[in-house]
Structure 1
Amino acid sequence: MDQPLSATLVVDDGTGIAYHRWEPDPGTDPDPVPVVLQHGFAANTAVEWADRGTVAAFTAAGRGVVGVDARGHGRSGKSPDPARYGERRMARDLRAVIAALGVPAVDLVGYSMGAVVALLTAAEEPAVRRLVIGGVGAGVVELGGVDTRVLPNDVLSLALLADAPGTLPPEVAAMRAFAETVGADLPSLAAQARSAHRGRIDLAAIAAATLVIAGDVDPLAQRPHVLADAIPDARLRLLPGDHGVVGSPAFRAAAVDFLRG
């Protein structure tokens, strides 16, 4: 797979949002509609999508791919200020990148935090043709985002800032360890944790055909049928696995097949 063409878009509040583009593989029958990928908390385009083979799966299927680094993540701008974060703010960034692409339609894939960003975007952005979301479930309907009953954001924020976080709930400990492993900016992540989206998402406004993918033992995607039932044109695909199912061949195959239409 070729290296991406990367660019930075400075959005309305002065934050630079990095995005990365790949062309369809030579010899494929290219689809003119690009696939836009939005990663989860603490990850970035490279870690979530390129390194795990998702980008290559799409380009091999004739798709151009655009991966967006959410603010505070990857090569995008960082800040310890919670007022600069939240999935609704990230959705505005994502819509700005989509507009900058200059295309009439996109297919959108979001995972975990990125799924919340994608849902907020699809509820307002008519350019979204098809939508794949993963790593979330009933928490989106009942709480407005990633399930804070499992991943309490106040505990997560403190854990990300602590020199020695001590004993933590399993999901919080795993998130801190993952953030350190990928070299994420911990103050920025703590700021996002304090600003995570709460409140109603207008799921009924989503016109795009939607696939909800969930690992069958993912604690952050419990009761995913509740979410699928709340989106007008959605189907549910359960895969064996936990929150790491995003890196599996089954996830890639399900996403590629669905976006192929």
Structure 2
Amino acid sequence: MSDLRKEVIEGYAGTDLAVHVMGDTGARPLLLLHGLFSSADVNWIKYGNAKILADAGFEVFMPDLRAHGQSGAPHDPAAYPADVLVDDLKLVIAALGFTDYDLGGFSLGARTSVRGVLAGLAPRKLILGGMGLTGLSGWARRSAHFVDAIDRFGTIERGDKAFVAQAFMKSMKIDRVAARLLLQSVDDTSADAIAQIAMPTLCVCGAEDHDNGSAPELAEALPQGRYIETPGNHMSSVTFKDMGRAMAEFLLD
């Protein structure tokens, strides 16, 4: 895509973070975070959803999270304190000079967006993709599943509940040492904390996506939550342009 460009921003402990940008320079900024073991390209760019949002009038900023995509993947445990992704998010927002912006994420990106808001970030509107209530409050169980997939990588056979995670890690060429450290930096988010998120929030989720619990329940738990169902499961929902269209409609409303 000719209008796709990249910046490199220094994250926590000097880790380089690749930020992919699409849309007219100076348009309203929208910051989007991808999911675990994925990348900005796979979640937002490859299947056209970033272009939908750029065409709707947004300048879309899409970081590769640390240990993912084209960003750094340090092996030093000190580079992964609690909520390091929130630290990275704050540094990206500061480096880009955002004061009035929208924020969204898919799966781990949604979880990071929630944690960022609870840590003081104040986007105008918030988008939580592929995320349900128990995906936030019961993260420890979800994380253990992925740590197990990392620890048994290369030995997991088809039919095992961790097989899909293993296959995705292989296709994305994930640095498993860095990914394991990152998983241990993310914590649960209580239902009481979620109820403190005051800005308008879209919970957009595939009809067959139940990996992170119930998105309608999450929308109900938010003071200004709205739920929109799109096609697909947790892996495929980002491949449908329905997700980008739903996000654009919400942001322009």
- TM bucket, shorter chain: 0.7 to 0.9
- CA separation of 1:83/1:50 partners in 2, compared to 1, >3 Å: closer, same or farther? same
Question: Structure 1 CA distance, aligned partners of 2:30 and 2:148?
Answer: 35
Question: Structure 2 CA distance, aligned partners of 1:213 and 1:133?
Answer: 6
Q: How does 1:166-185 map to 2 (within 5 A)?
A: 166-167=156-157, 171-185=161-175
Instruction: Tell me whether 1:254 sits opposite 2:249 in the alignment.
Output: no
**Which piece of structure 1 moves more, 80-89 or 36-45?**
80-89
Say if 1:95 and 1:125, in contact at 8 Å, map to a contact too: no
For residues 127-148 of structure 1, what are the alpha-carbon distances to aligned partners after superposition, in whole Å with 9 as ceiling and x for unaligned? 41111111111214532x4x73
Give the secondary structure class of the aligned counterpart of 1:34: strand
What letter is aligned with 1:248? F
Question: Structure 2 CA distance, aligned partners of 1:237 and 1:31?
Answer: 29
Instruction: Tell me whether 1:214 sits opposite 2:205 in the alignment.
Output: yes
What letter is aligned with 2:245? A
For residues 59-99 of structure 1, what are the alpha-carbon distances to aligned partners after superposition, in whole Å with 9 as ceiling and x for unaligned? 11121110011111112111245553377210121121111
Question: Structure 2 CA distance, aligned partners of 1:171 and 1:8?
Answer: 36
For residues 128-184 of structure 1, what are the alpha-carbon distances to aligned partners after superposition, in whole Å with 9 as ceiling and x for unaligned? 1111111111214532x4x73xx4x33422422445323477552112211211222
TM-score by length of 1: 0.85
- CA separation of 1:175/1:83 partners in 2, compared to 1, >3 Å: closer, same or farther? farther
**Structure 1 equivalent of residue 92 of structure 2:** 97
**Offset at residue 210 of structure 1 (A):** 0.5
Question: Structure 2 CA distance, aligned partners of 1:43 and 1:87?
Answer: 21
Question: Structure 1 CA distance, aligned partners of 2:182 and 2:158?
Answer: 19
What letter is aligned with 1:237? I
**Which piece of structure 1 moves more, 220-229 or 129-138?**
220-229
Question: Structure 1 CA distance, aligned partners of 2:55 and 2:23?
Answer: 10
Say if 2:135 and 2:212, in contact at 8 Å, map to a contact too: no
Q: How does 1:1-261 map to 2 (within 5 A)?
A: 1-24=1-24, 32-81=27-76, 84-85=79-80, 88-143=83-138, 145=139, 148=141, 151=142, 153-162=143-152, 164-167=154-157, 171-200=161-190, 202-243=193-234, 244-261=236-253
Say how many residue pairs are matched.
251
TM-score by length of 2: 0.88
% same residue = 27
- CA separation of 1:155/1:249 partners in 2, compared to 1, >3 Å: closer, same or farther? closer
- CA separation of 1:223/1:208 partners in 2, compared to 1, >3 Å: closer, same or farther? same
**Which piece of structure 1 moves more, 186-195 or 109-118?**
186-195
Question: Structure 2 CA distance, aligned partners of 1:169 and 1:186?
Answer: 22
Question: Structure 2 CA distance, aligned partners of 1:121 and 1:163?
Answer: 31
Say if 2:28 and 2:57, in contact at 8 Å, map to a contact too: no
Give the secondary structure class of the aligned counterpart of 1:18: strand
**Offset at residue 3 of structure 1 (A):** 4.7
**Which piece of structure 1 moves more, 107-116 or 73-82?**
73-82
**Which piece of structure 1 moves more, 234-243 or 164-173?**
164-173
Give the secondary structure class of the aligned counterpart of 1:65: strand
**Offset at residue 215 of structure 1 (A):** 1.8
Runs (4+) of structure 1 moved beyond 6 Å? none
Give the secondary structure class of the aligned counterpart of 2:19: strand
- Where in structure 2 are there 5+ consecutive unaligned residues? none
Say if 1:35 and 1:64, in contact at 8 Å, map to a contact too: yes
